[in-house]
C-alpha cells in the first residue's frame, strides 16, 4: 500500500462486523416484494457508515485505493484502466482548468486526486465516513495536492443528501459508483442540482440492475441480494428509476450509456479469478486470490486467527462481506443483470 492509513478507533475496529449485522437485522433482501423495501427501517446512513468501517482496510489491501470498477481494454493494467475510466468521466463532463468540481461520495479520495491532476480543476470531495475523510485528507497532503488552488483538492465530511455548500457553488459534479447509497435516489440528485451552477454538468456511474434482470427469477434475486448486502447498498435501482430520479430533480439528460457493454475484456474478470487477463504482477496476484480455492484458504486463515484472538472477529466478517459483494458483482456481470457503471451525464438548465 502506497499511503499511510489513519487508524480507526480500536473499539470500532473490533465491533464493525456486529454493527453492520445489526443495521440490516434479519431482513432478507432476496425475498422482499415490491414496495416492502422502504418499510424495513434499514437506514441508508447507518448502512453506509458501518459498511465502510468494516471493509475499507480489506478494499485497500485486496483491491486498491479506488473504490470503483472500470472497463478494460486488452493488455491494460488495473491502474491504467482505472485512470482511463476516471478521465472518461472528466472528458464527458467537460471539466477544465480553473473550474470548481465536486466529487459526491469521494471515498478515500483517489479519484479526486486523479481528476484534479488530470484536469487542473479544483476538486472538493464529500464523504459520509469520518474514517474516509481522515484518509482522503492525509493522502492528499502526502501527495502534495491538498489546497484550494487549481489542480488541488480538499475534502469535507458530510451527507451528500444534505451538503454543507452554498447554492450554485460548483461548475461540475461527478459521482463514481457512490450515489447508489442514496435512498431515495432523487434526494442526492436534488442536492446536486442545488449546488450546481446554472448550465453546470453532473456525471455519474450508477450501480444498476439492467433490463435483463427478472425479479421473478430466484437466481437473479440472489445476485441482487449479494450485491446489496455485500456492497452496503439499501436498494439497487434500474435505469428507468435512475432516469426518473434525475428528471424529478430538474436535471436534463445529455448522455446515457451502459459502459459494462463496452468493456472489451470482462469488467468482472478480477472477481472471477481469471488471471489470463491480468497484465501486471500485482493485478495477477490480486486476481489469483479471488479463485475459489484461494478464497477458501483465506476463510480458513481468518477463522484460525480470529479463533485464537490474534484478530478481532470483524476481520472475518469483513472478508465474508467483501467476498459476497465481489461474487455478487461477478455473477451480475456474467448474467448481464447488473452494471456498476450505468452512466448518465446531465445538465442543470440555464434558467
According to the model, what pLDDT value does residue 311 have? Answer: 74
C-alpha 65/C-alpha 245 separation (Å) is 29
**pLDDT at position 137 over 80:** yes
Segment 101-116 mean pLDDT: 96
Segment 259-264 shows an average pLDDT of 97
Q: How many other C-beta atoms are found inside a 10 Å radius of the C-beta of residue 211?
A: 11
Nearest CA-CA partner of 204 in 113, 49, 86: 86
pLDDT digits (tens, 9 = 90+) for 273-305: 999 999 999 999 999 988 988 888 887 887 788
pLDDT of residue 11: 39
Residue 172: which H helix or E strand, with range? strand 170-176
pTM over 0.95: no
**What was the pLDDT predicted at 321?**
80
Please check the confidence at residue 342 and state whether its pLDDT lies above 70.
yes
Structure confidence at residue 296 (pLDDT) = 86
Per-residue pLDDT at 308: 86
- Average pLDDT of the chain is 87
More confident: 38 or 251: 251
Q: In this predicted structure, what is the pLDDT of residue 4?
A: 58
Supply the pLDDT for residue 336.
98
The grid coordinates of residue 183 equal: 435512498
Contacts of 277 (CB under 8 A, 6+ apart): 72, 265, 266, 269, 287
> Which residues, at least 6 apart from 119, have a Cβ–Cβ distance to it below 8 Å?
90, 95, 96, 97, 99, 101, 151
pLDDT value for 10: 44
Note the pLDDT of residue 351.
81
Residue 227 pLDDT more than 60? yes
Q: Is the pLDDT of residue 139 over 80?
A: yes
Mapping DSSP onto H, E and C, the string for 311-340 reads: CCHHHHHHHHHHHHHHHHHHHHHHHCCEEE
In which band, very low, low, confident or very high, does the pLDDT at 1 lie, cut at 50, 70 and 90?
very low
Grid coordinates belonging to 138? 492525509
79-213+237-265+338-347 maps to CATH 3.20.20.450: no
pLDDT tens-digit profile of 28-82? 655 665 555 554 445 556 666 666 676 777 777 777 788 899 999 999 999 999 9
Whether the predicted pLDDT of 207 surpasses 70: yes
Owner of C-alpha cell 425475498: 31
* pLDDT at residue 22 is higher than 70: no
275, 287 contact by CB (below 8 A): yes
Query: How many other CB atoms are found less than 10 A from the CB of residue 57?
Result: 19
Domain boundaries, the chain: 16-65+266-334, 79-213+237-265+338-347
Amino acid at each position: 500500500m502506497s499511503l499511510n492509513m489513519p487508524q480507526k478507533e480500536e473499539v470500532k475496529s473490533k465491533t464493525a462486523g456486529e454493527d453492520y449485522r445489526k443495521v440490516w437485522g434479519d431482513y432478507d433482501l432476496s425475498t422482499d416484494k415490491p414496495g416492502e423495501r422502504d418499510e424495513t427501517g434499514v437506514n441508508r446512513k447507518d448502512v453506509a457508515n458501518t459498511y465502510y468501517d468494516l471493509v475499507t482496510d480489506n478494499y485497500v489491501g485486496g483491491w486498491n485505493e479506488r473504490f470503483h470498477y472500470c472497463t478494460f481494454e486488452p493488455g491494460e493494467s488495473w491502474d491504467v484502466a482505472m485512470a482511463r475510466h476516471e478521465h472518461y468521466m472528466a472528458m464527458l463532463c467537460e471539466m477544465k482548468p480553473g473550474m470548481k468540481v465536486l466529487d459526491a461520495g469521494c471515498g478515500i479520495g483517489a479519484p479526486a486526486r486523479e481528476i484534479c491532476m488530470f484536469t487542473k480543476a479544483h476538486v472538493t470531495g464529500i464523504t459520509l465516513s469520518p474514517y474516509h475523510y481522515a484518509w482522503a485528507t492525509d493522502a492528499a497532503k502526502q501527495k502534495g495536492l491538498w489546497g484550494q488552488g487549481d489542480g488541488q483538492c480538499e475534502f469535507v465530511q458530510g451527507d451528500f443528501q444534505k451538503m454543507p455548500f452554498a447554492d450554485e457553488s460548483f461548475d461540475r459534479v461527478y459521482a463514481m459508483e457512490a450515489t447508489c447509497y442514496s435512498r431515495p435516489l432523487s434526494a442526492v440528485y436534488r442536492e446536486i442540482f442545488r449546488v450546481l451552477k446554472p448550465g453546470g454538468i453532473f456525471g455519474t456511474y450508477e450501480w444498476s440492475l439492467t433490463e435483463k434482470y427478472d425479479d421473478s427469477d430466484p437466481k437473479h434475486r440472489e445476485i441482487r441480494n449479494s450485491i446489496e448486502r455485500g456492497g452496503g447498498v439499501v436498494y439497487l435501482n434500474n435505469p428507468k428509476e435512475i432516469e426518473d430520479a434525475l428528471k424529478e430533480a430538474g436535471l436534463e439528460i445529455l448522455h446515457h450509456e451502459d459502459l459494462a457493454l463496452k468493456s472489451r475484456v470482462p469488467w468482472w474478470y478480477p472477481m472471477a479469478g481469471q488471471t489470463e487477463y491480468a497484465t501486471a504482477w500485482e493485478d495477477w496476484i490480486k486476481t489469483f486470490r479471488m479463485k475459489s480455492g484461494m478464497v477458501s484458504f483465506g476463510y480458513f486463515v481468518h477463522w484460525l486467527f480470529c479463533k485464537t484472538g490474534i484478530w478481532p472477529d470483524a476481520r472475518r466478517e469483513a472478508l465474508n462481506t467483501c467476498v459476497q459483494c465481489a461474487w455478487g458483482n461477478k455473477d451480475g456481470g456474467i448474467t448481464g443483470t447488473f452494471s456498476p457503471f450505468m452512466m448518465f451525464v446531465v445538465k442543470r438548465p440555464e434558467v
